[in-house]
Amino acid sequence: MSARLDPQIIQEISRRGGFTLWGVSNVTPLSAFDHYRRWITAGFHGTMHFLEDASGLAKRASPRLFFPAARSILILGARYSGRIPFADPGGLTGLISAHSRGRDYHQVLRERAACVAEELSRAAGRLVEFLVAVDSSPVLEKPLAVRAGLGWQGRNSLAIHPQEGSFFFLTEIFTSLELEPASQEIPDLCGNCRRCLDACPTACILPDRRIDARRCLAYQTIENRGSIPLELRPLLGRRLFGCDACQSVCPWNQKASEVGVLTEFLPRSLEDVFPDLPVLVHLSGAEFKSRFTGTGLIRARRRGLLRNAAVVLGNTGCEDAVESLSYLLFNEADALIRGHAAWGLGQISSCRARDFLSTALSRETDETVLEEIRLSLAEDHGAQAGMAASSATTAVE
């Protein structure tokens, strides 16, 4: 049997690769899979049907099946920043989640982890087989991180490290090297804290540390390809892509430093954090690809991002948003976007917004969009009636 690599060497190589956290797990089956399977059975994964795939389920249950040559798994953590380095411009701007303000982390992690694996091979003095995994791979990376001593899985389901908090990405190197696994896990330090549960705008965090993705705003703005449920739209606020509510309030993130944050994950400009929505809604397909290729926002596609933008514009309640929303309602080919634009106009109490909706009602041919228009007009009528009644009561008094 070949001698195992010195842990100090693994740490040095990992740090040179830009990873502030590292740990080793064996490849035996994960007991946490039962928790995951119950999550799937309950339907909490929403429309992410790829998570139900039989082959993927088997690999998540038994890591060895993901890469049969593996004898060890090196789990690595790369820091990203949860802070906003720019003043909030307000107005008609959206907000992008902390994890997507720089380069697409999937690409960055794969590149850096592959370099680490190659260095480990050189340090071992022989050819080493390896396979890099990220969160799009059929791997239960958070339970693996727990087993490797990188933290505990918090109430918000995220991996939390006592010094690093939860603002870090995970990647795994499945390797034929036999590495020394972590001797012990970090205990669960959430205690009686419920800040993440209380801060969640949609109550999607369940008491048993499962997430009902169908109510999660990150899921709705990124993974959901269809209509955002009516009851969740106002709760989006300015969130254009993702949600940081449960991480922002976590006390372990208040204590974490910014040391070791990778530059690839930092925003280059104000637009990477607070995108100008009127500019965004006018982007053509080619312009959208040019601007967002290489970032995480490409995952939502133009269709999803403009749908989200329509909701955020409506949530501003601002008359200035009418122009952008009416542009989407009358010029956008996609019915999903037009429907959400109609909803957005319905959130703005102005004669101009109502006039656009009334005009669209006579021109629109898609039934789903027509339903959104009718609903918006009905809500606006109800709001006006309520205001009139209130004014009359005040006059009598």
Catalytic residues: 135
Show Cβ contacts of residue 389 under 8 Å, excluding neighbours closer than 6 positions: none
CB contact set of 15 (below 8 Å; sequence gap of 6+): none
Report the 3 state secondary structure along the chain: CCCCCCHHHHHHHHHHCCCCEEEEECCCCCCCHHHHHHHHHCCCCCCCHHHHCHHHHHHHHCHHHCCCCCCEEEEEEEECCCCCCCCCCCCCECEECHHHCCCCHHHHHHHHHHHHHHHHHHHHCCCCCEEEECCCCCCCHHHHHHHCCCCEECCCCCEEECCCECCEEEEEEEECCCCCCCCCCCCCCCCCCCHHHHHCCCCCECCCCCECHHHCHHHHHHCCCCCCCCCCHHHHCCEEECCCHHHHCCHHHHHCCCCCCCHHHCCCCHHHCCCEHHHHHCCCHHHHHHHHCCCHHHHHHHHHHHHHHHHHHHHHCCHHHHHHHHHHHHHCCCHHHHHHHHHHHHCCCCHHHHHHHHHHHHHCCCHHHHHHHHHHHHHHHHHHHHHHHHHHHHHHC
**Whose CA is closest to 174, among 132, 141, 139, 136?**
132
Residue 24 has φ and ψ, to the nearest 5°, of: -120, 135
Computed on alpha carbons and rounded to an integer, the radius of gyration of the chain in Å comes to 24
Calpha distance 384→391 (Å, rounded): 11
CA distances from 46 to 237, 304, 336, 384 (A): 22, 16, 19, 36
